[in-house]
Amino acid sequence: MTDHAAEVDALPKAELHVHLEGTATPELVRRLARRNGVALPDGLFADEHTFAWTDFLDFLRAYDVAASTIRTALDYRDVTYEYLTACAAEGAVYVELIASLDHGALVGLGDAEHIAGIAQGIDDAHADHGIVGRIISSCVRNFGVPAAEDVARRTVALDHPYVVGFNMAGDEAGFPAPDFARAFAIVAEAGLGCSVHAGEHAGPESVRAALALPGVRRISHGVRAIEDPALVEELARRAIVLEVCPTSNVVLGVYSSYEAHPLPALRAAGVLVTLGSDDPPYFGTTIGREYRLAHERLGCDLAALAAITRTALDAGFARHLAVNLTDHLGDR
Ligand SMILES: [Zn+2]
């Protein structure tokens, strides 16, 4: 493919799949640790941009240690502001941040205070850089069904204009989706958009189960749907959007290389996809880098990348935005 790096960098981008605590860079985590008097273990960082870890369990350990430095509403404001600022510098116009009320509670932060900190970061980034951020509240499968229903109820109770969706992350293989139907019914009835992590560490059956949950219109990852042609056809027919994170999939070993990644095959089958960075400083990536990789190694020309941004803006859960974000795309 010809070299269009500058045009890819200039292209408007949108991101629907990134975990807020997983965006804090080593530099920011060091700053928060100093601010909050948290001691960091040796070997947490590979370099100033990337965390060090060896396997999936070690990744989760590093993530939890780094996330434990994020403690106050001001910390959440700073994490949000700095991530959205970095995204804006790469051309992003819209980002949905997956936030965990459970994490806030773990560090003693009330839900309202937690979300107020994130909202302040969103407002400040919008004022300074024009980027629009919104919040997806997420539960964790392996914390169990009652905990998920609790997060669902608390998310609805927040009734915050920036909290536009609900997601579920965690162990998809060990905790079947149908058990969580009530949690999703609670948020779907309140009008929140729903997405579920599925089809990453488990196969097509996990994607099917996620799609059967109330309100689900997007799947976080979903890439292993490719193993079932009938499911691929259904995703295309129902215009279900897959929030694909190629580098996350390659780094975590879901696929052995970018060349083995199913994004081109999914697109060819008519499945709607977006690009996300998942946990950028852990996977050595950014939203801009995912767009570049999709161009250089996953067969997406500039028109395809513009279509991916349009899909993300159309499938975004934000309502009543003051600006029409698709204007950024012009006639692309
Ligand atoms: Zn994720």
Domains defined for the chain, CATH in brackets: 5-320 (3.20.20.140)
Structure confidence by residue, pLDDT tens digits, 200-230: 999 999 999 999 999 999 999 999 999 999 9
The pLDDT score that the predictor gives to residue 1 is 46
The pLDDT score that the predictor gives to residue 327 is 75
**Interacting residues of 292 by C-beta distance below 8 A, sequence separation 6+:** 5, 8, 9
The pLDDT score that the predictor gives to residue 330 is 72
Residue ranges in 190-316 assigned as alpha helix (H): 204-211, 229-237, 246-251, 263-268, 280-283, 287-297, 302-315
The pLDDT score that the predictor gives to residue 239 is 98
Is 200 assigned a catalytic role? yes
Distance 18 CA to ligand 1 centre (A): 6
The pLDDT score that the predictor gives to residue 176 is 93
Distance 278 CA to ligand 1 centre (A): 5
Distance 45 CA to ligand 1 centre (A): 21
Distance CA(84)–CA(90), nearest Å, equals 10
Distance CA(36)–CA(33), nearest Å, equals 5
Which residue in 149, 200, 243, 290 is the catalytic one? 200
- Our CA angle for 196, 198, 203, nearest 5°, is 160
Distance CA(216)–CA(199), nearest Å, equals 14
Distance CA(32)–CA(46), nearest Å, equals 18
Distance 60 CA to ligand 1 centre (A): 12
Distance CA(158)–CA(121), nearest Å, equals 18
- Spell out, as residue ranges, where the chain has pLDDT lower than 70: 1-3, 320-323, 331-332
Quick check: 167 and 197 in contact, CB under 8 A?
Answer: yes
Quick check: 50 and 61 in contact, CB under 8 A?
Answer: no
The pLDDT score that the predictor gives to residue 5 is 86
Question: Percentage helix, strand, coil, to 5, in the chain?
Answer: 55, 15, 30
